[in-house]
Chain A
Amino acid sequence: MQPSRDQLMWMYRTMILIRRYEERMAEVYFEGKTPRFDIGWGPVPGEMHLAAGQEPVAVGVMSHLGDHDTVTGPHRPHHLAIAKGVNLKAMTAEIFGKKTGLGQGKGGHMHLFDVAKKFSCSGLVGAGFPPALGAALAAKMQGKNWVAVAFAGEGAANQGSFHESLNLAALWKLPVILVIEDNSYGISVPKAASTAVPTNADRAAAYGIPGAFVPNNDPVAVFEAAGIAVERARQGQGPSLLEIKTDRYFGHFQGDPELYRPKGEVDTLKGHDPIARLRTKLMEGGVLSEDSDAALRKAVEAELEEAYAFARNSPYPEPTEALKHVFV
C-alpha cells in the first residue's frame, strides 16, 4: 500500500509540525532555568521528554487512523498526540500547567488525555499496552471496526505488561497493534544491553501473530507496514506487532548529560533526517516546490505561534481546584 499524494503531504507537514513543536518546547523549557538549571523552575517545569527524530513513527501509523481509533502513548508522547490530531492549543496549555489545558493543569506533559481524539498516555513504562487491548475489546464487543494502537519504546518491550498483552491480544484476536519505537536507548541503557533478541518484531512469533521490523526511520516504510497491520485488525484478523527503528535527537529528558552516548552520534543521526529525506523525495516527485515548502513551513510556524501564545496567555487554575476531579 503506497501513500497517496495527499497522504505524503500530510505526513511531511505533520513531521515538520512535530519537529518544530519539540524544538520550540526545548527552548521554552529552558526559560526561567538560567543561570542555574533547576527542573522545578520556569514556565514549563518537571520532566520533559521530547521526540524530535521520531516523527516517522507517528505519521506513518497515524495516517491509517481516524478519530474513532484509540491511541495510547508513553512518557514521550508529543509526536503521537500531534499526529493523532490532539488539540494543539489545549495540549500546550496543559504542558504549561494552565486552566485551559487538556486536563486543566492536573496532568502535564506525560499525562495528556484527549477524549475526543481517543488519545491518552502514561509516565509508567509499559503501561499503555493493556488499555489499548481494552479499547480494542470494547470496539469488538460493540461490533465496530475501530482499532487501537499502543506505542512504547524498545525499553518497554521488556516489561511484563508487553508480553501479557501480546498473549491476550492474540488469544482474543483483538483489533490492536503494538508499536515499538526503537530509538536505541532506554534512558542510558542501549538496546543490546536490555533486550535478549535483536528485534522485538521477532517476539511476535512466540504469540503466533505477525511481527514486522521497519528499519531506516522512514515514514513511507512505516506507512506501508502500519497499513497492513491496521487493515488486518479492521478485518477482524487480530493483532500485529511492529517495531520501528527511529532516532532520538535530544537527551532522554531535557537536562540529560548524555554521558552514555558516543560523541557525535546525534550529528550522524541528523545526517539521516527523515524530514530532509522526504523533502528531497517530494521535490523529485514534483509534489513539492521551494515555494510551496516555504509556505507550508510558514503556516506551521503560525500554528505553533498560536498554540504557544494561547498556552502562555491562559490563566493558571485556582489553587483550590487541586481538590476537584478525584471523582467525577
Chain B
Amino acid sequence: MSERKITMSKAIAEAIDLEMARDPKVFVMGEDVGIYGGIFSSTTGLFAKYGGDRVKDTPISETAFIGAATGAAAEGMRPIVELMFVDFFGVCMDQIYNHLAKNTYMSGGSVKLPVVLMTAYGGGYNDAAQHSQSLYSLFAHVPGLKVVVPSNAYDAKGLMHTAIRDDNPVMYFFHKGLMGLGWMSSPATASTPVPEGDYTVPLGQAKVVREGQDLTIVTLGWMVHRSLEAAAELEKAGISAEIIDLRTLVPLDRETVIKSAQKTGRVLVVDEDYQSFGLSGEIAATVAEAGALKSFRRVAVPDVPIPYSRPLEQYVLPNPQTIAQAAQGMLEMVG
C-alpha cells in the first residue's frame, strides 16, 4: 500500500485518468473541464493527456450535453459529465429525472445508461443561495439514480472507479471544501493516502469511521469531518460517539445504520442539506421501521436558503459545536 497522500481532487482526476486509459469508451464533457481542468480541479491534466476529443468543453447548454450523455451511453459510450455546481441542475432536470433516471426501467431493463454526472456541492465559504446547496437528497429521492458522496481522497478514488464501471447512472457529489484546492480551506483529514493504481470502493457500503457506545452519528461528506471534531469534544465530556460515513445514499446501507442504532440506542443525523423531507427523515424512518428507534435527533440546515453573509451562513450550517450540543442533549434526556 502506498503512503502517498493526495487531495480529493487529485484522487478523482486520477480515477478518471485510469478509466480513460483502460476503456476508450470513457470520455469527459462539461463546462471548463478542458484547459481549465475543472473549476474544482476534478479533471486536471486530462485534456493535456487525452485531447479535446475525449475531454470536451461544452457550451453552457446543460439540457443538450447532459441529455446527450444519456444518448451516448445508450449507444455504448461511458460519459462522465461535470456540471460545476449541483445548484445548476435545475436547468436540465428533465433530462435527468425523466430520462436518465427512468429509461432503463421503462425499457424493461433493456437500455443501459452508464453515465457519471459529477458535481460540486456544499457551502461554508459565502457563495450564497445559488452556489452552496447540497441537494443530494433531491436526486436520491428519484428512483433510478445512484448517489455517491465521498468524504475523503481514498473513498473518492475508489468510488469514482466503481461509478464509471457501473452500468447505471451515478450522480457523484464532491464537497468543494474537501477537494484540497489551495484556494479554499479543507479539513486536513480529507486528504489521505491513496494507492496509485486502480481499486474500487463498493456502492452501498457505509463505513464506521469512529466506533463508540453512547450514540450513533449518521452523516456524509464534509459533515463527517465536523462530526469527528464534535466526537473528539464529546470524548472529553465522557461521551463516546460512533460515526457512520454513509458514502453513498443510493444504494443506502441501512443495515450498518440499524446495527449501530441497536447498539447505541441513540441516532443523530448530521446533514448539510435542508432538514425537512430529506436524508435525516429517511434515516429516522429506516431506524423506526427496524424497531430500533429509541432516541433521535438531527442537525441540518433549518429549511432556509443558504444565506450569503458570514454570520448568517455559519448559523445555518451544522458545526462541531452544534453537533456536540445535540449529542449532549440526547444523553441528558432520560433513558
Which A residues have a C-beta under 8 Å from some C-beta of B? 36-40, 45-47, 94, 97-98, 101, 103, 105-108, 110-111, 122-126, 155-156, 158-161, 186-189, 193-195, 255, 259-260, 316-323, 326
Contacts and interface: CB of A to CB of B under 8 A. Distances in A.
A126 B126 CA distance: 22
Where chain B touches its partner, the secondary structure class is loop
B302 interface: yes
Contact of B308 (A37, A107, A161, A323): A107
28 contacts: A38-B185, A40-B125, A40-B184, A40-B185, A46-B131, A46-B308, A47-B131, A105-B309, A108-B309, A123-B87, A123-B128, A124-B88, A124-B90, A124-B130, A126-B60, A156-B60, A159-B61, A160-B91, A186-B31, A187-B36, A188-B34, A188-B36, A189-B57, A316-B310, A319-B314, A322-B312, A322-B313, A326-B305
B126 A46 contact: yes
A259 B309 contact: no
B277 interface: no
B91 A46 contact: no
Contacts of B34: 188-189
A2 to B, nearest CB: 36
A45 B312 CA distance: 13
A97 B307 CA distance: 9
Contacts of B58: 194
Contacts of A316: 309-311
Closest 3 CB pairs of A and B: A108-B308, A105-B309, A97-B309
A124 B184 contact: no
A105 B88 contact: no
Interface in B49-108: 57-64, 87-88, 90-91
A160 B309 contact: no
A105 B312 contact: yes
A168 B87 CA distance: 26
Given A187-B39, A189-B31, 5 more contacts: A36-B182, A106-B309, A186-B60, A194-B57, A322-B304
A167 B5 CA distance: 53
A186 B311 CA distance: 32
Contacts of A189: 31-32, 34, 57, 59
Contacts of B128: 46, 107-108, 110-111, 123
Interface string B203-241: 000000000000000000000000000000000000000
A161 to B, nearest CB: 7
Interface of B: 31-32, 34-36, 39, 57-64, 87-88, 90-91, 124-131, 182-185, 302-305, 307-316
Contacts of A105: 307-309, 312
B325 to A, nearest CB: 15
Contacts of B304: 322-323, 326
A106 B32 contact: no
Contacts of B31: 186-187, 189
Contacts of A160: 61, 63-64, 91
B129 A111 contact: yes
Contacts of A186: 31, 59-60
Contacts of A110: 128, 130-131
A322 B302 CA distance: 9
Nearest to A319: B315
B113 to A, nearest CB: 22
Contacts of B57: 188-189, 193-194
Which of A103, A108, A255, A320 has the most chain B CB atoms inside 10 A of its CB? A108
A57 to B, nearest CB: 19
Given A107-B128, A260-B35, A322-B307, A37 B183 contact: yes
